[in-house]
Structure 1
Amino acid sequence: MQLETVKSFILWVLVGASLLLTFTLWSYRPEMEQSENFVEDRTDLGGTEETQNTLIEPTSIIFQSSSQYFGFTDPGERQSLYEDMQNWSLYDFRTTKGNGPPSEDNQVEIIFPDAIPMEMAANLFTFNEDVQMPSWGFERIFMTFNQDSNTMNVIFLSEDGGKQATAVVNNSEKYALLWEYLTTFEGLTDYLRVKGAPERIYIPNQPKNIGTKSIAVQTIDSQTMVDTLFSDPDIVSRNRIRENEIYFTDNARGIMQVYPHRRTAEFQNPLQSSNETQLKPSVLVEQSRLNINDHRGWTNDYRLSDIAINAATNKIRYQMYYEGYPVFGSNYSSIIEQQYRESELIQYNRPLFKLANYLGGDDSSDLMSGKSVIERLENSDTYNMDNVYDIQNGYDLTYRSEADAVTLEPAWFVDYNGTWQKMKFNHGHPQQEGGS
């Protein structure tokens, strides 16, 4: 009897151990397998991941000494100074009423391409304590000098000039750095302020020798974009509408048109939500940044250029840059554009190439002087100064499909009535940057 009891006990132990082992095998999922599946589910366009700091940069830093204006000869030095400024400790933050730009004879003006939400300033700059940011946006920051204390005032000015936020830089070394620029002008070149325009515009006075560049590109496969934008790529159909247009659709999620001759893609979701919600600018910027980070879509040097928000539109644009200069092209060949309805991506237009090897260039191209540009604008039948919002040196991009390369030709560009155009004074119509 005792032997039978021992046998029964051993049998139950074996049965229990078997059940436990079976459950463990069924429920076990190797960590490596999960990691591999995650990587397989994530598409990769071959670019990088970006932060707010790397995407949001000023287009100009202007040094004013009395009635003279100066800017950096090398745009790379402007970028280096701004990156340094982001690490300066800002003290005594406060918000007050504004009365337009400061009137000091010596000041520094930092100009951004569009209004940046003040609540994002805490990510872009270094404040010595937690601060409550106002809800408005700034397009310009001014820095003025307190010579008695070797400190600087930092003024974030609202778009309408009626509100401002101020802080103090209490660092004699940084004070001396900016003051040296204002007194020696080393590394700077003479700039002109454009009169008659609705905004404060500054352009380099002397002719610039930038040079035409030829650059090989790596193309982004259309299927990678299908995998990125469609929830079930296996059911997406592909149709060639004409020689230079390919049409992808799943009859539910969206439509994507690819243009091989210029290597661009345009996606739209026709079954969008009818709920028209206006996003906060800071939410739109972060939502878009994370979305493009998710598929490593920053395939070139891109910077935030435009935020357009109303009840029906939450649109954001990023401009391509090369060696510190903006790159302009037609039909989304040099910009990334997204549009959201709440958290849903309903439109996505972008280039399908990545700048790669430098193939050579022509250093003999001289742009006309800023003085000549202003004179031609003022005497032009094409342009009205009331509609000129910005003027910049940049590159005009042409994609060469037969060589898988692009040509970047230096030119003057004007933001005319909200649209960037290559400036042409003698013949033809200005080239516009945007969609088809």
Structure 2
Amino acid sequence: MMKRMELLKSILLSLLVVLSLLLTWNVWSYQPASDLYDQSETTVENVAIAEERTTRDLIQPSRFLVHGEVAVSGTTDENNINTLNALMQEWNIYNVQQNNSFDEEEFKNIVHGSNRIEIIYPTGIPFSAYRDIVTFENSSLPEDTFDRVVVDVSGQEDTPFTVYFVHYDNRVVYEGRVDATHLDDLNSVIVSDAAAIYTPLFAYEAGDRTIYLPVERRQYSKYLYRMSTIDINLFRRALFQNPDAVELNQFGASRDQYFDQSSNLMEVDRNNNTLSYVNPSAELSTVGRAGELFQKSRRFVNEHEGWVDTYYLYDLDAMDQEVTFRMHEQGLPVFNDNSVAEIYQEWGETRIHQYTRSFLSKQIELSVDTDIVSLGSGYDAIEAIESIEDFNPDRLQDVTVGYYMTKDDSNNTYILDPVWYYKYNDSWARVPVIGGGDPVGLE
């Protein structure tokens, strides 16, 4: 009897030792879920199409303005913007808090007052994403977005200066502080010669918005690119759960449809070199955090290394869970009538619902007969916009020079023409020419 009890004790002890080892292994090997979406339902295979991008690669100002004592000047030049970005990356921004103590006049002075650098972004930027671009001392930041950063450069060199994070339409302002040691570099590199280096601007009042536009005509380069096409099978392997089970329907030489048993569909338009992937089982979401939306949209493309050429975040709609990254050329946005110049995503609760993009990539720049185009001034652009029937200045949101991208021939050659664009009722359009004609140059 005693021997049997000893045997049972030995067996029980052995089981306890094994169980302890298993529990220890689970603790050591456990990794908490850090993904903001269900990866198993999005990118499936480890496919490398082009390259990955960081937050810093994808978030870029569209321009910055320097408000002097009297004049205002500004630039869209990528080299100038990168110089300012490099200075800001040295900062440690602290004591970020919301400022609610201002009226409309004071708000305009915060943003457009003298001795300011006004850095404008094309869409709302989440604080959580901006943390990857500049350093914040605060451990927690607002769950909010801003579309411009305003730097007050009027202070003394021995006093911390103020940085404002502004959501322009919502009239929301947060402010933080930066150590005074960075003010001298900012003034010497960006501010002191601004009137000589950057483009002189005038202010146009569009309802409660102030839009700054160039006083004079300017010359812009025209580009011609031969494009290469990305193998569609790479997207098939990246986007479908079981790529080998995907079926293909061909509709002539220009349109293909790939689909699987889950009703996931990828439609390929070979005339325009675009594809659209739809996952109908993704539960649509109408509410979400802007920071999470940006990060999962970036990681989704990163997982199949799908970034080509230069794309920047251009529109972020947390309410409808939509994100658009737009192609840029020399710091200016590129537009196309067939969505060739953008990467668009619509998200469900945890999974991608729609993914639309081009499968083109720049291969080689070609020479053009006329590579310089002279565009009309901001005054010319405003005159043409105001001539639009039923124009309402309250609905005008922005005016900028961009590139209009058109296909030149059947050999995937594309022309990028500099053109005036305006944003009206949340939509971008080419500025028309008074009396009709080609909008290039506003002649």
- Quickly name the TM-score band, shorter chain normalised: 0.7 to 0.9
Q: Which residue of 2 aligns with 1:35?
A: none
Q: Point out where structure 1 has 5 or more consecutive residues left out of the alignment.
A: 1-39, 432-436
Of residues 256, 260, 264, the one that matches 1:246 is 256
Q: Is the 8 A contact 1:97 1:164 kept in 2?
A: yes
Q: Which residue of 1 aligns with 2:236?
A: 226
Deviation by residue 1:255-276 (Cα, 9 ceiling, x = unmatched): 1111111111111122333x64
Q: Which residue of 1 aligns with 2:322?
A: 315
Deviation by residue 1:373-422 (Cα, 9 ceiling, x = unmatched): 12222233264322211111111111345222211111011112111111
Deviation by residue 1:298-347 (Cα, 9 ceiling, x = unmatched): 1111111111233xx31111010112111111222000001111111110
Computing the radius of gyration over CA atoms, which structure comes out larger, 1 or 2?
A: 1
Correspondences of 1:354-373 after superposition (within 5 Å): 354-361=361-368, 362-373=370-381
Q: Specify whether residues 302 and 98 from structure 1 end up closer, same or farther in structure 2 by C-alpha distance, changes over 3 A only.
A: farther
Q: Is the 8 A contact 1:98 1:161 kept in 2?
A: no
TM-score after normalising by structure 2: 0.81
CA displacement at 1:74 relative to structure 2 = 3.1
Q: Which residue of 2 aligns with 1:266?
A: 276
How many angstroms apart in 2 are the aligned matches of 1:213 and 1:66? 38
In structure 1, what residue type is equivalent to 2:301? I
Of residues 61, 84, 88, the one that matches 1:85 is 88
CA displacement at 1:253 relative to structure 2 = 4.2
Of residues 328, 334, 339, the one that matches 2:346 is 339
Q: Which residue of 2 aligns with 1:301?
A: 310
Query: 1:109 and 2:118 equivalent?
Result: yes
Deviation by residue 1:174-223 (Cα, 9 ceiling, x = unmatched): 43433664443242110122222443322222222112211111211221
Q: Specify whether residues 373 and 122 from structure 1 end up closer, same or farther in structure 2 by C-alpha distance, changes over 3 A only.
A: same
Q: Which residue of 2 aligns with 1:45?
A: 49
Q: Specify whether residues 352 and 376 from structure 1 end up closer, same or farther in structure 2 by C-alpha distance, changes over 3 A only.
A: same
TM-score after normalising by structure 1: 0.82
Q: Which residue of 1 aligns with 2:246?
A: 236
Correspondences of 1:4-403 after superposition (within 5 Å): 41-46=45-50, 48-72=51-75, 74-99=77-102, 100-103=107-110, 104-127=113-136, 129-144=137-152, 145-147=154-156, 149=158, 151-160=160-169, 162-172=171-181, 174-178=183-187, 181-185=190-194, 186-273=196-283, 276=285, 278-310=287-319, 313-361=320-368, 362-381=370-389, 383-400=391-408, 402-403=410-411
Q: What SS does the aligned partner of 1:146 have?
A: coil
CA displacement at 1:137 relative to structure 2 = 1.6
Q: Specify whether residues 197 and 83 from structure 1 end up closer, same or farther in structure 2 by C-alpha distance, changes over 3 A only.
A: farther
How many angstroms apart in 1 are the aligned matches of 2:96 and 2:332? 33
How many angstroms apart in 1 are the aligned matches of 2:378 and 2:325? 26
CA displacement at 1:424 relative to structure 2 = 1.5
In structure 2, what residue type is equivalent to 1:316? V
Q: Point out where structure 2 has 5 or more consecutive residues left out of the alignment.
A: 1-43
Q: Specify whether residues 113 and 209 from structure 1 end up closer, same or farther in structure 2 by C-alpha distance, changes over 3 A only.
A: same
RMSD over aligned CA atoms reads: 2.5
Q: Is the 8 A contact 1:101 1:157 kept in 2?
A: no
In structure 2, what residue type is equivalent to 1:335? E
Q: Which residue of 1 aligns with 2:20?
A: none
Q: What SS does the aligned partner of 1:131 have?
A: coil
CA displacement at 1:352 relative to structure 2 = 0.7
Q: What SS does the aligned partner of 1:223 have?
A: helix
Q: Is the 8 A contact 2:62 2:76 kept in 1?
A: no
Q: Specify whether residues 428 and 345 from structure 1 end up closer, same or farther in structure 2 by C-alpha distance, changes over 3 A only.
A: farther
Q: What SS does the aligned partner of 2:338 have?
A: coil
Deviation by residue 1:62-115 (Cα, 9 ceiling, x = unmatched): 111134210127332123312331222223433332522435421111111111
Q: Which residue of 2 aligns with 1:13?
A: none
Q: Specify whether residues 198 and 248 from structure 1 end up closer, same or farther in structure 2 by C-alpha distance, changes over 3 A only.
A: farther
Q: Specify whether residues 408 and 306 from structure 1 end up closer, same or farther in structure 2 by C-alpha distance, changes over 3 A only.
A: same
Q: Equivalent pairs: percent with the same residue?
A: 25
In structure 1, what residue type is equivalent to 2:156? Q
How many angstroms apart in 2 are the aligned matches of 1:73 and 1:318? 18
In structure 2, what residue type is equivalent to 1:326? P
Deviation by residue 1:235-292 (Cα, 9 ceiling, x = unmatched): 222222244322221142411111111111111122333x646221101100011110
In structure 2, what residue type is equivalent to 1:85? M
How many angstroms apart in 1 are the aligned matches of 2:384 and 2:161? 39
In structure 1, what residue type is equivalent to 2:193? T
Q: Is the 8 A contact 1:412 1:422 kept in 2?
A: yes
Q: What SS does the aligned partner of 1:375 have?
A: helix
How many angstroms apart in 1 are the aligned matches of 2:289 and 2:223? 39
Q: What SS does the aligned partner of 2:177 have?
A: strand
Q: Is the 8 A contact 1:302 1:319 kept in 2?
A: yes
Q: Is the 8 A contact 1:70 1:190 kept in 2?
A: yes
CA displacement at 1:147 relative to structure 2 = 2.9
Point out 4+ residue stretches in structure 1 off by more than 6 angstroms: 428-431
Deviation by residue 1:9-44 (Cα, 9 ceiling, x = unmatched): xxxxxxxxxxxxxxxxxxxxxxxxxxxxxxx94112
Q: Is the 8 A contact 1:198 1:388 kept in 2?
A: no
Q: What SS does the aligned partner of 2:220 have?
A: coil
Q: What SS does the aligned partner of 1:54 have?
A: helix
Q: What SS does the aligned partner of 1:108 have?
A: strand
